Structure 1
């Protein structure tokens, strides 16, 4: 998430947005469980979530929680339209979601600075959004986030 944070900072003045694709899992409802360690009560997350982990790491670096969103939370067309408007305006600057949920019909390219794939996309069409934006605006960055074999 270092690269996402670096680009978040670099494109701050332009409110540059980023898409983070993750097909490894979907966001889980965050359940908290109480546990006892050495007689001290603590609260822990019940299950690991890639989405929550990414969000929490970005927040830990200083990204405001309101600038990070999960596409999966927009569970109807009205919520999707509202979320996409926030991304296009730069209010939400990092949008996480699966290839299926953020694929065709996700019209958020207005301020798009980068897209990231946490796992390898299976189809060439799944990596086209940033390249289509690149044809329109020449100030986008296409990267494999340091992977040698992308």
Structure 2
């Protein structure tokens, strides 16, 4: 599909539009029942579901943890499947209008099934975009007192500023956010001080193949941001390939979501090869630098030999010896009131005591270059 055809398909809302295709894939990765959301509207808790779907696995895990301890609180994160209504465009191009309609909600289905598992409805809270700031604080306070045991929301509604960590035992990620910082904010609800649990559990739910792209995008962004933060000021290029961080937990999740763990092995081996190649380049560069220094030092030594030879031929060594001898202690003389004092500094000092001496220091001076008579 050309860029022009893609743009026209997006404006017309055709099924082959990339945005619509990716949106359908995201829905299917969370809950395949969302593809028939309009037909299943209002059937939350009754619509048939696969026992290995994300929703089914989530219900089992949440119920097990709920029964494990009276203060094992949990939070569920998802960006889709919360609302029971959706909006679509209707009408001809250029005169489209928004139309709201009822749809199936995965989260409402999960809530109904959790109640069937024995969790009281008043111990489950749903926080979405319409929840006020005061209501969020109330939910967080009740979570800290374990009056609410399970809270469900998105990154935006349960991210920054929601302090419910006191008894938070587990975080459940039904999907991946689009930014690494959002994933960090999600986990930050439990991985922080004042949490009474020494170990906080993190669940990432994956649908084979379909979740691969979402986690791949997250891995690319995560590596690029980390490379930027670690880079030096003189670096002008930062690579942003996926799966290049050897210790990245996002990378590991991406490999699992892609349905092929060999992706992780392949990228680790590729990273090791790149590291060895980099070390080889540094080693070769070091050898070249050392050889260059050897040549430079050898050339400098040759030049110094030539200079020393010229100095020796000019009689500089003899002239320096003469200059040192003339300025030695025995060459010192001192006159006091026109009378020559004995040689030697100590004897002259004793002979001149009691009077105010006038000291004349006689320094020998040599010529450079030495005259022919001094050679």
Q: The TM-score by the shorter chain falls in which range? A: 0.7 to 0.9
Give the alignment partner of residue 10 of structure 1, picking from 44, 49, 68. 68
Contact 1:21 1:96 survives alignment (8 Å): yes
Alpha carbons of structure 1 residues 68 and 136: separation in structure 2 relative to 1, 3 Å: closer
Question: Residues 1-150 of structure 1: matches in 2 within 5 Å?
Answer: 1-12=59-70, 15-28=71-84, 47-72=103-128, 75-127=131-183, 128-129=187-188, 130-132=190-192, 137-144=197-204, 149=256
In the aligned structure 2, how far is the partner of 1:89 from the partner of 1:136? 12
**Structure with more of its chain in helix, by fraction:** 2
- Does 58-67 or 46-55 show the bigger shift? 46-55
Deviations 1:3-44 (A, max 9, x none): 1111111122xx221110010133337xxxxxxxxxxxxxxx
In the aligned structure 1, how far is the partner of 2:201 from the partner of 2:126? 22
**Structure with more of its chain in strand, by fraction:** 1
Contact 1:115 1:142 survives alignment (8 Å): yes
- When the two chains are superposed, the root-mean-square deviation of aligned CA atoms in Å is 2.6
In the aligned structure 2, how far is the partner of 1:134 from the partner of 1:80? 19
1:126 is displaced (CA, Å) by 2.7
In the aligned structure 1, how far is the partner of 2:130 from the partner of 2:75? 15
For structure 2, the residue ranges without an aligned partner over 5 or more in a row are 1-58, 86-101, 208-252, 258-375
Q: Which has the larger Rg?
A: 2
1:91 is displaced (CA, Å) by 0.6
Q: Identify the structure with bigger relative contact order (alpha carbons < 8 Å, sequence gap 6+).
A: 1
For structure 1, the residue ranges without an aligned partner over 5 or more in a row are 30-45
Q: Report the TM-score, using the length of structure 1 for normalisation.
A: 0.75
Matched residue count: 132
In the aligned structure 2, how far is the partner of 1:135 from the partner of 1:113? 9
Deviations 1:77-100 (A, max 9, x none): 222221111111111110000111
1:137 is displaced (CA, Å) by 4.2
Alpha carbons of structure 1 residues 146 and 138: separation in structure 2 relative to 1, 3 Å: farther
Alpha carbons of structure 1 residues 133 and 3: separation in structure 2 relative to 1, 3 Å: farther
